[in-house]
Structure 1
Protein backbone atom coordinates (compact mmCIF):
# COMPACT_ATOMS: atom_id res chain seq x y z
CA UNK A 1 0.00 0.00 0.00
CA UNK A 2 1.27 3.50 -0.83
CA UNK A 3 2.06 5.80 2.10
CA UNK A 4 -0.74 8.35 2.58
CA UNK A 5 1.35 11.34 1.46
CA UNK A 6 2.52 9.60 -1.70
CA UNK A 7 -1.02 8.39 -2.36
CA UNK A 8 -2.39 11.94 -2.14
CA UNK A 9 0.33 13.27 -4.41
CA UNK A 10 -0.56 10.59 -6.92
CA UNK A 11 -4.22 11.53 -6.70
CA UNK A 12 -3.37 15.18 -7.24
CA UNK A 13 -1.96 14.41 -10.65
CA UNK A 14 -4.24 11.55 -11.63
CA UNK A 15 -7.71 12.70 -10.57
CA UNK A 16 -7.78 15.26 -13.36
CA UNK A 17 -5.34 15.43 -16.25
CA UNK A 18 -2.40 17.74 -15.44
CA UNK A 19 -2.57 21.24 -16.84
CA UNK A 20 -0.20 22.65 -19.43
CA UNK A 21 2.03 25.33 -17.93
CA UNK A 22 0.99 28.77 -19.18
CA UNK A 23 2.09 32.22 -18.09
CA UNK A 24 -0.16 35.22 -17.65
CA UNK A 25 0.71 38.86 -18.06
CA UNK A 26 1.54 40.59 -14.76
CA UNK A 27 -1.47 42.03 -12.93
CA UNK A 28 -1.81 44.26 -9.87
CA UNK A 29 -2.48 42.33 -6.67
CA UNK A 30 -5.97 42.15 -5.22
CA UNK A 31 -6.30 44.58 -2.30
CA UNK A 32 -7.28 42.51 0.75
CA UNK A 33 -7.66 43.33 4.42
CA UNK A 34 -8.41 40.76 7.13
CA UNK A 35 -10.43 41.62 10.22
CA UNK A 36 -9.23 41.08 13.78
CA UNK A 37 -6.97 38.60 15.52
CA UNK A 38 -9.17 36.63 17.93
CA UNK A 39 -11.60 34.79 15.64
CA UNK A 40 -8.90 33.05 13.59
CA UNK A 41 -7.38 30.85 16.28
CA UNK A 42 -3.64 30.38 15.74
CA UNK A 43 -3.67 32.05 12.31
CA UNK A 44 -2.66 35.70 12.11
CA UNK A 45 -4.59 38.14 9.91
CA UNK A 46 -1.36 38.92 8.06
CA UNK A 47 -0.76 35.28 7.15
CA UNK A 48 -4.41 34.79 6.17
CA UNK A 49 -4.11 37.79 3.88
CA UNK A 50 -1.04 36.33 2.18
CA UNK A 51 -2.82 33.02 1.55
CA UNK A 52 -5.89 34.84 0.21
CA UNK A 53 -3.73 36.98 -2.08
CA UNK A 54 -2.05 33.85 -3.39
CA UNK A 55 -5.35 32.04 -4.03
CA UNK A 56 -6.99 35.04 -5.67
CA UNK A 57 -3.85 35.75 -7.66
CA UNK A 58 -4.06 32.42 -9.48
CA UNK A 59 -7.34 33.67 -11.02
CA UNK A 60 -6.76 37.41 -11.03
CA UNK A 61 -3.60 37.28 -13.12
CA UNK A 62 -5.71 35.99 -16.01
CA UNK A 63 -8.08 38.98 -15.75
CA UNK A 64 -5.96 41.97 -16.84
CA UNK A 65 -8.95 43.95 -18.11
CA UNK A 66 -11.11 43.38 -15.04
CA UNK A 67 -11.49 46.01 -12.34
CA UNK A 68 -12.71 45.30 -8.83
CA UNK A 69 -12.75 47.07 -5.47
CA UNK A 70 -10.80 45.86 -2.48
CA UNK A 71 -11.92 42.95 -0.30
CA UNK A 72 -12.48 42.69 3.44
CA UNK A 73 -12.29 39.17 4.92
CA UNK A 74 -14.18 38.45 8.12
CA UNK A 75 -14.75 35.30 10.17
CA UNK A 76 -18.03 33.40 9.95
CA UNK A 77 -18.98 30.58 12.34
CA UNK A 78 -21.14 28.70 9.83
CA UNK A 79 -20.16 28.76 6.15
CA UNK A 80 -18.17 30.91 3.71
CA UNK A 81 -20.08 33.64 1.90
CA UNK A 82 -19.63 36.60 -0.41
CA UNK A 83 -22.03 39.26 0.83
CA UNK A 84 -24.29 41.08 -1.62
CA UNK A 85 -23.93 44.32 0.33
CA UNK A 86 -20.78 46.32 1.01
CA UNK A 87 -19.37 47.64 4.26
CA UNK A 88 -19.12 51.35 5.04
CA UNK A 89 -15.58 51.22 3.67
CA UNK A 90 -16.95 50.16 0.27
CA UNK A 91 -15.02 46.91 0.23
CA UNK A 92 -16.41 43.59 -0.94
CA UNK A 93 -17.15 41.53 2.18
CA UNK A 94 -16.17 37.86 2.14
CA UNK A 95 -16.73 35.64 5.16
CA UNK A 96 -14.61 32.52 5.70
CA UNK A 97 -15.47 29.64 8.03
CA UNK A 98 -12.03 28.30 8.90
CA UNK A 99 -9.48 28.93 11.62
CA UNK A 100 -5.94 28.07 12.68
CA UNK A 101 -3.24 27.45 10.08
CA UNK A 102 -5.29 25.37 7.67
CA UNK A 103 -3.87 27.16 4.66
CA UNK A 104 -5.27 24.87 1.98
CA UNK A 105 -8.77 25.20 3.44
CA UNK A 106 -8.36 28.98 3.60
CA UNK A 107 -7.23 28.98 -0.04
CA UNK A 108 -10.06 26.67 -1.10
CA UNK A 109 -12.77 28.77 0.52
CA UNK A 110 -11.36 32.10 -0.57
CA UNK A 111 -10.82 31.10 -4.22
CA UNK A 112 -14.46 29.97 -4.36
CA UNK A 113 -15.71 33.25 -2.91
CA UNK A 114 -13.34 35.30 -5.06
CA UNK A 115 -14.94 33.71 -8.11
CA UNK A 116 -18.34 34.87 -6.80
CA UNK A 117 -16.83 38.33 -6.34
CA UNK A 118 -15.70 38.35 -9.99
CA UNK A 119 -19.22 37.39 -11.10
CA UNK A 120 -21.09 39.74 -8.76
CA UNK A 121 -18.85 42.62 -7.68
CA UNK A 122 -16.34 43.36 -10.45
CA UNK A 123 -16.92 46.53 -12.45
CA UNK A 124 -18.52 44.44 -15.22
CA UNK A 125 -20.11 41.81 -13.00
CA UNK A 126 -21.96 44.30 -10.82
CA UNK A 127 -23.97 45.38 -13.87
CA UNK A 128 -25.40 41.87 -14.21
CA UNK A 129 -28.49 40.47 -12.51
CA UNK A 130 -28.02 39.04 -9.02
CA UNK A 131 -31.37 37.65 -7.96
CA UNK A 132 -30.54 35.65 -4.80
CA UNK A 133 -32.15 32.54 -6.30
CA UNK A 134 -32.58 31.66 -9.95
CA UNK A 135 -32.67 28.40 -11.88
CA UNK A 136 -29.10 28.58 -13.20
CA UNK A 137 -27.36 29.66 -10.01
CA UNK A 138 -25.93 26.14 -9.80
CA UNK A 139 -23.72 27.05 -12.77
CA UNK A 140 -22.06 29.89 -10.87
CA UNK A 141 -21.63 27.60 -7.86
CA UNK A 142 -20.01 24.94 -10.04
CA UNK A 143 -17.72 27.49 -11.66
CA UNK A 144 -16.67 28.70 -8.22
CA UNK A 145 -15.97 25.12 -7.15
CA UNK A 146 -13.84 24.86 -10.28
CA UNK A 147 -12.01 28.04 -9.25
CA UNK A 148 -11.11 26.50 -5.88
CA UNK A 149 -9.68 23.35 -7.46
CA UNK A 150 -7.86 25.38 -10.11
CA UNK A 151 -6.30 27.74 -7.55
CA UNK A 152 -5.14 24.94 -5.25
CA UNK A 153 -3.53 22.99 -8.08
CA UNK A 154 -1.79 26.12 -9.35
CA UNK A 155 -0.66 27.12 -5.85
CA UNK A 156 0.92 23.71 -5.42
CA UNK A 157 3.19 24.68 -8.31
CA UNK A 158 3.74 28.37 -7.58
CA UNK A 159 4.56 27.81 -3.90
CA UNK A 160 7.41 25.48 -4.87
CA UNK A 161 9.33 28.49 -6.17
CA UNK A 162 7.42 31.60 -5.01
CA UNK A 163 5.73 30.91 -1.65
CA UNK A 164 4.43 33.84 0.42
CA UNK A 165 7.27 33.11 2.85
CA UNK A 166 10.36 31.02 2.13
CA UNK A 167 9.65 28.63 5.00
CA UNK A 168 6.22 27.83 3.48
CA UNK A 169 7.72 26.20 0.40
CA UNK A 170 7.37 22.71 1.87
CA UNK A 171 3.61 23.26 2.20
CA UNK A 172 3.18 23.45 -1.58
CA UNK A 173 2.22 19.76 -2.12
CA UNK A 174 -0.55 20.02 0.49
CA UNK A 175 -2.58 22.30 -1.78
CA UNK A 176 -2.68 19.71 -4.57
CA UNK A 177 -3.40 17.00 -1.99
CA UNK A 178 -6.39 18.97 -0.63
CA UNK A 179 -7.84 19.28 -4.14
CA UNK A 180 -7.13 15.62 -4.83
CA UNK A 181 -8.88 14.46 -1.67
CA UNK A 182 -11.99 16.41 -2.64
CA UNK A 183 -12.01 14.93 -6.14
CA UNK A 184 -11.35 11.43 -4.78
CA UNK A 185 -14.44 11.34 -2.56
CA UNK A 186 -16.89 8.82 -3.95
CA UNK A 187 -19.82 11.24 -3.74
CA UNK A 188 -17.89 13.62 -5.99
CA UNK A 189 -17.53 11.14 -8.83
CA UNK A 190 -19.84 9.91 -11.53
CA UNK A 191 -21.61 6.62 -10.87
CA UNK A 192 -19.67 3.76 -12.36
CA UNK A 193 -20.44 3.27 -16.03
CA UNK A 194 -22.38 6.55 -16.33
CA UNK A 195 -21.30 9.25 -18.76
CA UNK A 196 -21.30 12.86 -17.64
CA UNK A 197 -23.86 13.75 -20.32
CA UNK A 198 -26.28 11.08 -19.05
CA UNK A 199 -25.68 12.02 -15.42
CA UNK A 200 -26.25 15.72 -16.14
CA UNK A 201 -29.50 15.05 -17.98
CA UNK A 202 -30.75 13.23 -14.87
CA UNK A 203 -29.53 15.81 -12.35
CA UNK A 204 -29.95 19.23 -13.95
CA UNK A 205 -33.48 19.71 -12.61
CA UNK A 206 -32.44 19.01 -9.03
CA UNK A 207 -29.60 21.54 -9.34
CA UNK A 208 -31.99 24.11 -10.81
CA UNK A 209 -34.16 23.61 -7.72
CA UNK A 210 -31.22 23.75 -5.29
CA UNK A 211 -28.05 25.45 -6.47
CA UNK A 212 -25.97 24.33 -3.47
CA UNK A 213 -25.98 20.54 -3.87
CA UNK A 214 -22.23 20.44 -3.26
CA UNK A 215 -21.60 16.87 -4.35
CA UNK A 216 -23.22 17.67 -7.70
CA UNK A 217 -21.40 20.99 -8.02
CA UNK A 218 -18.12 19.09 -7.66
CA UNK A 219 -19.06 16.55 -10.32
CA UNK A 220 -19.74 19.42 -12.72
CA UNK A 221 -16.54 21.19 -11.63
CA UNK A 222 -14.33 18.20 -12.34
CA UNK A 223 -15.61 18.30 -15.94
CA UNK A 224 -15.05 22.07 -16.22
CA UNK A 225 -11.59 22.06 -14.63
CA UNK A 226 -9.68 20.74 -17.67
CA UNK A 227 -11.24 23.47 -19.82
CA UNK A 228 -9.95 26.23 -17.54
CA UNK A 229 -6.58 24.59 -16.99
CA UNK A 230 -6.08 24.40 -20.76
CA UNK A 231 -7.28 27.99 -21.35
CA UNK A 232 -7.05 29.92 -18.05
CA UNK A 233 -7.35 33.29 -19.77
CA UNK A 234 -11.08 32.56 -19.86
CA UNK A 235 -11.45 33.27 -16.15
CA UNK A 236 -11.99 36.78 -17.45
CA UNK A 237 -15.32 35.61 -18.88
CA UNK A 238 -16.73 35.15 -15.36
CA UNK A 239 -17.72 38.82 -14.82
CA UNK A 240 -20.12 38.50 -17.79
CA UNK A 241 -21.83 35.37 -16.43
CA UNK A 242 -24.93 37.07 -15.03
CA UNK A 243 -25.67 39.45 -17.87
CA UNK A 244 -28.89 38.96 -19.79
CA UNK A 245 -32.67 39.10 -19.27
CA UNK A 246 -33.83 39.10 -15.66
CA UNK A 247 -35.82 35.87 -15.82
CA UNK A 248 -35.62 33.46 -12.89
CA UNK A 249 -36.48 30.32 -14.85
CA UNK A 250 -34.27 30.87 -17.89
CA UNK A 251 -33.27 27.64 -19.64
CA UNK A 252 -29.61 26.65 -19.57
CA UNK A 253 -29.22 27.08 -23.33
CA UNK A 254 -30.61 30.61 -22.96
CA UNK A 255 -28.26 31.29 -20.05
CA UNK A 256 -25.23 30.17 -22.05
CA UNK A 257 -26.36 32.25 -25.04
CA UNK A 258 -26.79 35.33 -22.79
CA UNK A 259 -23.30 34.84 -21.34
CA UNK A 260 -21.75 34.32 -24.75
CA UNK A 261 -23.42 37.44 -26.17
CA UNK A 262 -22.30 39.61 -23.25
CA UNK A 263 -18.69 38.41 -23.13
CA UNK A 264 -15.90 39.83 -25.29
CA UNK A 265 -15.37 38.02 -28.57
CA UNK A 266 -12.16 36.41 -27.30
CA UNK A 267 -14.14 34.30 -24.79
CA UNK A 268 -17.13 33.28 -26.89
CA UNK A 269 -15.65 30.10 -28.36
CA UNK A 270 -14.68 28.96 -24.87
CA UNK A 271 -18.20 29.59 -23.54
CA UNK A 272 -19.55 27.60 -26.49
CA UNK A 273 -17.25 24.68 -25.58
CA UNK A 274 -18.39 24.88 -21.98
CA UNK A 275 -22.01 24.86 -23.12
CA UNK A 276 -21.38 21.88 -25.39
CA UNK A 277 -19.94 19.96 -22.44
CA UNK A 278 -23.25 20.62 -20.65
CA UNK A 279 -25.23 19.45 -23.68
CA UNK A 280 -26.17 22.89 -24.98
Structure 2
Protein backbone atom coordinates (compact mmCIF):
# COMPACT_ATOMS: atom_id res chain seq x y z
CA UNK A 1 0.00 0.00 0.00
CA UNK A 2 1.38 3.42 -1.01
CA UNK A 3 0.91 6.68 0.84
CA UNK A 4 0.79 10.35 -0.20
CA UNK A 5 1.40 13.20 2.23
CA UNK A 6 -1.19 15.98 2.25
CA UNK A 7 1.19 18.53 3.75
CA UNK A 8 4.88 18.86 4.50
CA UNK A 9 4.63 19.95 8.13
CA UNK A 10 2.53 17.06 9.47
CA UNK A 11 2.24 13.33 8.91
CA UNK A 12 -1.17 13.45 7.23
CA UNK A 13 -1.22 10.63 4.71
CA UNK A 14 -3.56 9.09 2.15
CA UNK A 15 -3.00 5.37 1.97
CA UNK A 16 -3.91 3.88 -1.38
CA UNK A 17 -3.82 0.67 -3.29
CA UNK A 18 -4.91 -0.44 -6.71
CA UNK A 19 -8.64 -0.41 -6.13
CA UNK A 20 -11.47 1.68 -7.60
CA UNK A 21 -11.67 3.98 -4.57
CA UNK A 22 -8.11 5.11 -3.85
CA UNK A 23 -5.93 4.10 -6.77
CA UNK A 24 -2.47 5.66 -6.92
CA UNK A 25 -3.31 8.22 -9.66
CA UNK A 26 -6.53 9.23 -7.91
CA UNK A 27 -4.82 9.61 -4.53
CA UNK A 28 -2.35 12.02 -6.07
CA UNK A 29 -5.23 14.13 -7.38
CA UNK A 30 -6.97 14.06 -3.99
CA UNK A 31 -4.14 15.87 -2.22
CA UNK A 32 -5.11 19.48 -3.20
CA UNK A 33 -8.71 19.00 -2.02
CA UNK A 34 -7.69 17.54 1.33
CA UNK A 35 -4.98 20.17 1.82
CA UNK A 36 -7.57 22.85 1.14
CA UNK A 37 -9.81 21.49 3.91
CA UNK A 38 -6.86 21.55 6.30
CA UNK A 39 -6.33 25.24 5.51
CA UNK A 40 -10.01 26.02 6.11
CA UNK A 41 -9.87 24.24 9.48
CA UNK A 42 -6.70 26.08 10.48
CA UNK A 43 -8.50 29.38 9.92
CA UNK A 44 -11.64 28.16 11.70
CA UNK A 45 -10.40 26.09 14.64
CA UNK A 46 -6.92 27.59 14.87
CA UNK A 47 -3.61 26.14 13.76
CA UNK A 48 -2.80 24.81 17.21
CA UNK A 49 -5.94 22.70 17.38
CA UNK A 50 -5.55 21.31 13.85
CA UNK A 51 -1.83 20.72 14.08
CA UNK A 52 -2.23 18.83 17.35
CA UNK A 53 -3.18 15.98 15.01
CA UNK A 54 0.42 15.40 14.02
CA UNK A 55 -0.44 11.99 12.58
CA UNK A 56 -3.56 11.43 10.49
CA UNK A 57 -4.22 8.42 8.27
CA UNK A 58 -6.85 8.52 5.52
CA UNK A 59 -7.92 5.20 4.03
CA UNK A 60 -10.54 3.95 1.58
CA UNK A 61 -13.71 2.15 2.58
CA UNK A 62 -16.65 0.68 0.72
CA UNK A 63 -18.75 1.37 3.81
CA UNK A 64 -19.85 4.73 5.21
CA UNK A 65 -17.21 7.41 5.91
CA UNK A 66 -16.15 7.40 9.56
CA UNK A 67 -13.47 8.63 11.91
CA UNK A 68 -11.74 7.26 14.99
CA UNK A 69 -10.66 9.92 17.47
CA UNK A 70 -8.23 7.83 19.49
CA UNK A 71 -6.35 6.61 16.42
CA UNK A 72 -6.39 9.78 14.26
CA UNK A 73 -7.91 7.68 11.53
CA UNK A 74 -10.41 8.63 8.82
CA UNK A 75 -12.10 6.36 6.29
CA UNK A 76 -13.54 7.95 3.14
CA UNK A 77 -15.76 6.28 0.59
CA UNK A 78 -15.35 8.62 -2.37
CA UNK A 79 -12.51 9.99 -4.46
CA UNK A 80 -13.72 10.63 -8.00
CA UNK A 81 -16.01 13.53 -6.98
CA UNK A 82 -13.73 16.12 -5.44
CA UNK A 83 -16.66 18.14 -4.07
CA UNK A 84 -17.91 15.06 -2.26
CA UNK A 85 -14.36 14.40 -1.10
CA UNK A 86 -14.22 17.87 0.49
CA UNK A 87 -17.64 17.28 2.00
CA UNK A 88 -16.73 13.91 3.54
CA UNK A 89 -13.28 14.90 4.76
CA UNK A 90 -14.56 18.10 6.37
CA UNK A 91 -17.25 16.16 8.22
CA UNK A 92 -14.88 13.51 9.54
CA UNK A 93 -12.10 15.97 10.37
CA UNK A 94 -14.58 18.03 12.39
CA UNK A 95 -15.19 14.95 14.57
CA UNK A 96 -11.45 14.82 15.28
CA UNK A 97 -11.44 18.44 16.45
CA UNK A 98 -13.34 17.23 19.54
CA UNK A 99 -10.83 15.52 21.87
CA UNK A 100 -13.30 13.01 23.32
CA UNK A 101 -16.80 11.73 22.61
CA UNK A 102 -19.64 13.99 23.76
CA UNK A 103 -22.36 12.57 25.96
CA UNK A 104 -25.11 10.65 24.12
CA UNK A 105 -27.74 13.41 24.22
CA UNK A 106 -25.28 15.86 22.60
CA UNK A 107 -24.04 13.55 19.85
CA UNK A 108 -26.68 14.80 17.43
CA UNK A 109 -25.31 18.32 17.86
CA UNK A 110 -21.81 17.03 17.09
CA UNK A 111 -23.17 15.50 13.88
CA UNK A 112 -24.91 18.78 13.08
CA UNK A 113 -21.72 20.78 13.54
CA UNK A 114 -19.86 18.30 11.32
CA UNK A 115 -22.53 18.72 8.64
CA UNK A 116 -22.09 22.47 9.00
CA UNK A 117 -18.31 22.13 8.60
CA UNK A 118 -18.83 20.31 5.29
CA UNK A 119 -21.06 23.04 3.91
CA UNK A 120 -18.71 25.74 5.19
CA UNK A 121 -15.65 24.22 3.51
CA UNK A 122 -17.45 23.95 0.19
CA UNK A 123 -18.59 27.56 0.27
CA UNK A 124 -15.11 28.69 1.33
CA UNK A 125 -13.84 27.09 -1.87
CA UNK A 126 -16.26 29.20 -3.87
CA UNK A 127 -14.99 32.39 -2.21
CA UNK A 128 -11.29 31.61 -2.59
CA UNK A 129 -9.56 33.78 -5.25
CA UNK A 130 -8.83 31.70 -8.33
CA UNK A 131 -5.19 32.72 -8.21
CA UNK A 132 -4.89 30.95 -4.83
CA UNK A 133 -6.45 27.71 -6.10
CA UNK A 134 -4.82 24.58 -7.38
CA UNK A 135 -6.02 23.68 -10.88
CA UNK A 136 -8.01 20.75 -9.49
CA UNK A 137 -9.92 23.09 -7.18
CA UNK A 138 -10.45 25.76 -9.81
CA UNK A 139 -12.05 23.15 -12.04
CA UNK A 140 -14.74 22.28 -9.46
CA UNK A 141 -15.50 25.77 -8.12
CA UNK A 142 -18.33 26.45 -10.61
CA UNK A 143 -20.11 23.34 -9.34
CA UNK A 144 -20.17 24.33 -5.65
CA UNK A 145 -23.56 26.06 -5.62
CA UNK A 146 -25.34 23.19 -7.33
CA UNK A 147 -23.70 20.64 -5.02
CA UNK A 148 -24.64 22.57 -1.86
CA UNK A 149 -28.19 23.08 -3.12
CA UNK A 150 -28.53 19.35 -3.79
CA UNK A 151 -27.03 18.50 -0.40
CA UNK A 152 -29.48 20.78 1.43
CA UNK A 153 -32.49 19.12 -0.20
CA UNK A 154 -32.43 16.67 2.69
CA UNK A 155 -33.04 19.55 5.13
CA UNK A 156 -36.63 20.03 6.27
CA UNK A 157 -38.39 23.33 5.43
CA UNK A 158 -39.27 25.04 8.70
CA UNK A 159 -41.97 27.29 7.20
CA UNK A 160 -41.62 29.86 9.96
CA UNK A 161 -41.12 27.36 12.79
CA UNK A 162 -38.37 28.47 15.16
CA UNK A 163 -35.30 26.24 15.24
CA UNK A 164 -35.68 25.89 19.00
CA UNK A 165 -39.25 24.60 18.52
CA UNK A 166 -38.07 22.19 15.82
CA UNK A 167 -35.51 20.81 18.27
CA UNK A 168 -38.08 20.52 21.07
CA UNK A 169 -40.43 18.65 18.74
CA UNK A 170 -37.70 16.16 17.76
CA UNK A 171 -35.39 16.06 20.78
CA UNK A 172 -36.25 12.47 21.71
CA UNK A 173 -35.52 11.28 18.16
CA UNK A 174 -32.28 13.26 18.04
CA UNK A 175 -31.02 11.95 21.36
CA UNK A 176 -31.88 8.35 20.48
CA UNK A 177 -30.48 8.52 16.95
CA UNK A 178 -27.93 11.30 16.37
CA UNK A 179 -27.55 10.35 12.70
CA UNK A 180 -30.89 11.54 11.32
CA UNK A 181 -29.36 13.47 8.45
CA UNK A 182 -32.49 15.42 7.55
CA UNK A 183 -32.70 16.81 11.08
CA UNK A 184 -28.97 17.51 11.33
CA UNK A 185 -28.99 19.30 7.98
CA UNK A 186 -32.00 21.39 9.02
CA UNK A 187 -30.26 22.75 12.11
CA UNK A 188 -26.91 23.11 10.29
CA UNK A 189 -28.58 25.23 7.61
CA UNK A 190 -29.91 27.60 10.27
CA UNK A 191 -26.58 27.75 12.12
CA UNK A 192 -24.62 28.66 9.00
CA UNK A 193 -25.20 32.45 9.14
CA UNK A 194 -23.97 32.56 12.74
CA UNK A 195 -20.70 30.84 11.90
CA UNK A 196 -20.35 33.04 8.83
CA UNK A 197 -20.61 36.23 10.90
CA UNK A 198 -18.83 34.85 14.00
CA UNK A 199 -15.87 32.79 12.72
CA UNK A 200 -14.56 32.28 16.26
CA UNK A 201 -17.64 30.16 16.93
CA UNK A 202 -15.81 27.15 15.46
CA UNK A 203 -13.63 27.13 18.57
CA UNK A 204 -16.71 26.29 20.63
CA UNK A 205 -17.07 22.84 19.04
CA UNK A 206 -14.08 21.14 20.76
CA UNK A 207 -15.73 21.89 24.12
CA UNK A 208 -18.74 19.67 23.37
CA UNK A 209 -17.07 16.73 25.11
CA UNK A 210 -16.82 18.74 28.35
CA UNK A 211 -20.60 18.85 28.90
CA UNK A 212 -21.41 16.60 31.90
CA UNK A 213 -23.23 13.36 31.12
CA UNK A 214 -26.20 13.99 33.39
CA UNK A 215 -27.10 17.33 31.79
CA UNK A 216 -30.16 17.78 29.59
CA UNK A 217 -29.69 19.38 26.18
CA UNK A 218 -30.77 22.80 27.49
CA UNK A 219 -28.51 22.49 30.52
CA UNK A 220 -25.65 21.42 28.28
CA UNK A 221 -25.93 24.50 26.05
CA UNK A 222 -26.07 26.78 29.10
CA UNK A 223 -23.00 25.00 30.51
CA UNK A 224 -21.19 25.38 27.21
CA UNK A 225 -21.85 29.12 27.40
CA UNK A 226 -19.91 29.28 30.65
CA UNK A 227 -16.75 27.48 29.53
CA UNK A 228 -15.99 28.84 26.05
CA UNK A 229 -13.22 31.36 25.49
CA UNK A 230 -14.06 35.06 25.68
CA UNK A 231 -13.46 35.47 21.94
CA UNK A 232 -16.28 32.99 21.29
CA UNK A 233 -18.92 34.47 23.57
CA UNK A 234 -20.79 36.58 21.00
CA UNK A 235 -21.09 33.58 18.70
CA UNK A 236 -22.06 31.33 21.62
CA UNK A 237 -24.84 33.73 22.61
CA UNK A 238 -26.22 33.60 19.08
CA UNK A 239 -26.01 29.78 19.00
CA UNK A 240 -27.74 29.45 22.36
CA UNK A 241 -30.49 31.86 21.29
CA UNK A 242 -31.09 29.89 18.08
CA UNK A 243 -31.07 26.45 19.69
CA UNK A 244 -32.94 27.26 22.89
CA UNK A 245 -35.14 30.18 21.85
Q: Does TM, normalized by the shorter one, top 0.5?
A: yes
Q: State the alpha-carbon separation in 2 of the partners of residues 117 and 251 from structure 1.
A: 24
Does the residue aligned with 2:36 lie in a helix, a strand or coil? Answer: helix
How far does the alpha carbon of each residue in 1:212-253 deviate from its partner, in whole angstroms, 9 at most, with x for none? 0001000000011111111223212222221132x1x52112
Alpha carbon RMSD of aligned pairs, Å?
Answer: 2.3
After TM superposition, which residue ranges in structure 1, 4 or more long, deviate above 3 angstroms? 28-31, 191-195
The 1:263/1:223 distance shift into structure 2, 3 A limit, reads same
Q: Does 1:68 align with 2:52?
A: yes
Match of 1:223 in 2: 190
Q: Which runs of 5+ in 2 are unaligned?
A: 1-7
Are 1:117 and 2:99 counterparts?
no
**How far, CA to CA, are the matches of 2:136 and 2:106 in structure 1?**
43
The CA distance in 1 between the partners of 2:137 and 2:207, in whole Å, is 36
Query: Residue 172 of structure 1 corresponds to which residue in structure 2?
Result: 141
Aligned partner (choices 5, 24, 35) of residue 53 of structure 1: 35
Q: 1:59 to 1:153 in 2, by over 3 A?
A: same
**1:96-144 alpha-carbon deviations (Å, 9 max, x no partner):** 1113x2000000000011111111xxxxxx2xx526x601110010001
After alignment, is 259-268 or 207-216 more displaced? 259-268
Report the structure, 1 or 2, having the larger helix content. 2
Which structure has more RCO (C-alpha within 8 Å, separation ≥ 6)? 1
8 Å Cα contact 1:72/1:94 also seen in 2: yes
Aligned CA distance change for structure 1 residues 102 and 30 (closer, same or farther; 3 Å): farther
SS of 1:135's equivalent in the other structure is helix
Do the aligned residues in 2 keep the contact of 1:242 with 1:259 (CA within 8 Å)? no
CA distance in 2, matches of 1:173, 1:197: 34
Q: TM-score when scaled to structure 2?
A: 0.85
Within the candidate set 16, 20, 30, 1:36 is matched to 16
| Equivalent pairs, count | 233
- Structure 1 spans left out of the alignment, 5+ residues: 1-27, 87-91, 120-125
Instruction: Indicate yes or no: 2:238 matched with 1:268.
Output: no
1:85 alignment partner, SS class: helix
Counterparts of 1:65 and 1:274 in 2: how far apart (Å)?
24
SS of the residue 1:272 aligns to: helix
Contact 1:56-1:151 at 8 Å conserved across structures: no
Say if 1:275 and 1:31 are closer, same or farther in 2 by CA, change over 3 A.
farther
Per the alignment, in what secondary structure is the counterpart of residue 215 of structure 2?
coil
